[in-house]
Amino acid sequence: MNTAEIKLELFRKIDRLPETDLENLYHQFIALLDTNANYKLNDFEKKAIDEALEKSEENKLVEHLDVLNEASAKYPNLKFK
Domain enclosing residue 56, as ranges = 43-74
Q: Does residue 52 belong to any structural domain of this protein?
A: yes
47 and 70 in one domain? yes
Span 20-34, pLDDT tens digits: 889 888 888 887 887
Total of domains in the chain: 2
Q: What is the 3-state secondary structure (H, E, C) of the chain?
A: CCHHHHHHHHHHHHHCCCHHHHHHHHHHHHHHHCCCCCCCCCHHHHHHHHHHHHHHHCCCCCCHHHHHHHHHHHCCCCCCC
Q: Would you say residue 12 has pLDDT above 90?
A: yes
In a domain, 79, yes or no: no
> Do 48 and 69 share a domain, yes or no?
yes
For residue 24, being part of any structural domain is answered with yes
> 80 in a domain, yes or no?
no
Return the minimum-mean-pLDDT range out of 18-22, 31-35, 46-50: 31-35
**Taking the model in full, what pTM does it have?**
0.41
Same domain, 48 and 70: yes
Residue 56 in domain: yes
